[in-house]
A and B are shown apart, each in its own frame.
Chain A
Amino acid sequence: MVSIRTGQLEEHIVADVAWGAWQYWLWTGDEDFLRQAGYELLADTARYWASRVRRDGEGRAHIDDVIGPDEYHEAVNDNAFTNVMARWNLRTASTALSARPDLADDTERAKWDDVADALVDNYDSGTGLYEQFDGFFDLEPLIIRDVAPRRPIVADLLLGAERVRRAQVLKQADVLMLHFMVPSEVAAGSLVSNLQYYEPRTAHGSSLSPGVHAALFARAGRLGDAVEWLRLASRIDLDDVTGTTAGGLHLATMGGVWQAVALGFLGIRAEDRGLRIDPHLPSGWPRVEIRLSFRGSRIVVRTDQSTVSVTCDRALDLAIREGSPITRVDPPGIEVRL
């Protein structure tokens, strides 16, 4: 009998649900949703994290006994993804609920901010690395990229679950999911160092892993690697690479392929103030076009090697490229040289 503990210990899902709800609001601007469910959801999830942490003698907050997205390592303490997502959850709830004192008063929101600031995130500014969880760097330094006959591969079947538990082998993105989901919550510039460290240690044993890594490689400018992982993700069912396509399509993987193109190669991101587009097109791609809906505006983004054009049917708050300011764009849209 194999005990499946993800259902009990994969608590980051609490923050993931809050993040999903917040993303929905960012993309749609659906105030009714916030009023009817969103604010309450943010408040209750923040309350959960505030009640879940353990304070040490120096006042730092820890979250013990969890499973991160990696899933090969169970019952770990201070999983960086869980802690940082909890921190994001607490801070977002505190900010968003300033308009709803009936749901969370100033005292409670101040407590959330305090817990968020106290949460350890395992970041080492010297190396630029987040330690996946407390003790991860002490595990057997096994580079699955170098020892497996190929990747993706189900590493716990190849090496045995016990060795995988004792080694620096990941099933799928863990720390790197922070860079994918909440880039504003991680140290600036830390994507490249963490991608370089964690990707070779990743078995990609989940069909969701290749798409996320394609997006991250694209954002990091490693476009050859990005295309390689995108190709694999996009062909899982076309080539029936798992031998299970007859039993059902990998719909979440398909969603990951869309995300890799939209959020990775085109670098599209919904921010509080508007939409940001930061394309990274591989040299072999003449152009990419994608259609979106953002806060009621129907948008077509077209990009080639030298320009980005955005058409919209309603006014749109938009920025092209990382770091550039968000400005109002009126229909029919704009074209920007890269």
Chain B
Amino acid sequence: VRVVAALDATSGARAVLSVAQAISAVVSADVDAVHVEETVPAVPIADLVGCSVRTLPPPIESVLVEAGRAEDVIALVLGLKRSDGVRVLGRVARAVCTRSERPIILVPPTTPIPFALRRALVPVPPDPMATTTLAGTIRLAHGVALEVTVLRVGDPTNVPLFEDQMFHETEAWAREFLARYVQLPPEAVALEFRVGDVADEILSAASDLGADLIVLGWGRDFGPRRALIVRRVLERTMTPVQLIPVLP
């Protein structure tokens, strides 16, 4: 199996490659470093990243989506860009994310190199069906010996009425959650509870907990008023983000 690393001619390409290599090592996959040559780069990509790179002909979005459809590809790794100081999801990344059925890992250019993948943060939505979809990822991460923290963020308007015995109630909720949706024993993953703005809390939890990867489920739709949390996380994250397509 392969992890496709889509490299461009920016300095962020090295971070993309490093993340792809770390993920490949964890899941015993090969890295397939590719570059779609819309223009001839000043420095050859292979020289930039220090490894062999397959060069593919444009158009770039279609080529990457098609590359991701191969049966042996388990994930695509793309770079996040900066524009005028604000992180933006580039045209290519946006198109590939919405059209790909494979998990996409989006890598900020500031990601440290060499990248090490040890801890994954998995924010779970209140919708149990979406949680069920993420459960496979949680089990997979646990199965490859990653430290997994499941994050549940409460909305301030949805704070519980009562909490008579915080410790016992939290533990009871965690056991029930893991047994019902993840089918893992309670000691397999850590649970983190926070209250506040969901995107803010995801980012601060990733920072506080030293997460190497944020795993988000999403509906593959960047239309108006869609994927608001995903967008806000991608705009500001300093941590690579894995988007898992969640079926509606």
Contact = CB atoms under 8 A, between A and B. Distances in A.
B161 A158 contact: no
Interface stretch (B7-15, B63-71, B164-172): B164-172
A205 interface: yes
A157 B162 contact: no
A188 interface: no
B209 to A, nearest CB: 13
A154 B156 contact: no
Contact of A158 (B156, B167, B172, B193): B156
A242 interface: yes
A157 B164 contact: no
A68 interface: no
A241 interface: yes
Contact of A153 (B161, B167, B193): B161
A126 interface: no
A154 B193 CA distance: 13
A206 B162 contact: yes
Contacts of A157: 154, 159-160, 163, 193, 195
B157 interface: yes
Interface residues of A, number: 21
- Say whether chain B's binding surface is mostly helix, strand, loop, or mixed: mixed
A154 B172 contact: no
A2 B166 contact: yes
A158 B166 contact: no
Contacts of B163: 154, 156-157, 205-206
A8 B162 CA distance: 22
A104 interface: no
Nearest to B163: A154
Nearest to A247: B172
A316 B184 CA distance: 61
A47 B46 CA distance: 81
Contacts of B154: 157
A247 B175 CA distance: 12
A206 B164 CA distance: 5
Interface extent on B, as a size class?
10 to 19
A177 to B, nearest CB: 16
A148 to B, nearest CB: 8
A149 interface: yes
Contacts of A207: 161-162, 164
B164 A4 contact: no
Contact of B156 (A149, A156, A204): A149
A208 interface: yes
Nearest to B161: A152
Nearest to A206: B164
Interface in A205-254: 205-208, 236, 241-244, 247
Contacts of B169: 244
A242 B160 contact: yes
Interface in B146-186: 154, 156-157, 159-164, 166-167, 169, 172, 176
Interface in A64-101: none
B153 to A, nearest CB: 11
Contact of A154 (B157, B160, B167, B176): B160
Given A157-B195, A158-B156, A158-B195, A241 B161 contact: yes
A4 B166 contact: yes
Contact of A149 (B157, B160, B176): B157
A41 to B, nearest CB: 26
Given A2-B167, A157-B195, A205 B157 contact: no
A37 B99 CA distance: 76
Nearest to B193: A157
Interface string A157-178: 1101000000000000000000
A213 B74 CA distance: 58
B132 to A, nearest CB: 19
B162 A152 contact: yes
B224 to A, nearest CB: 27
B167 A4 contact: yes
Nearest to A243: B160
Interface in B24-78: none
Nearest to A242: B162
Nearest to A207: B162
Interface of A: 2, 4, 149, 152-154, 156-158, 160, 204-208, 236, 241-244, 247
19 contacts: A2-B167, A149-B159, A153-B159, A153-B161, A154-B159, A154-B160, A154-B163, A156-B163, A156-B166, A157-B154, A157-B160, A157-B193, A157-B195, A158-B195, A205-B162, A205-B163, A207-B161, A207-B164, A247-B176
Given A205-B162, A243-B160, 10 more contacts: A4-B166, A153-B159, A154-B160, A157-B160, A158-B159, A204-B162, A205-B161, A207-B162, A242-B160, A247-B176
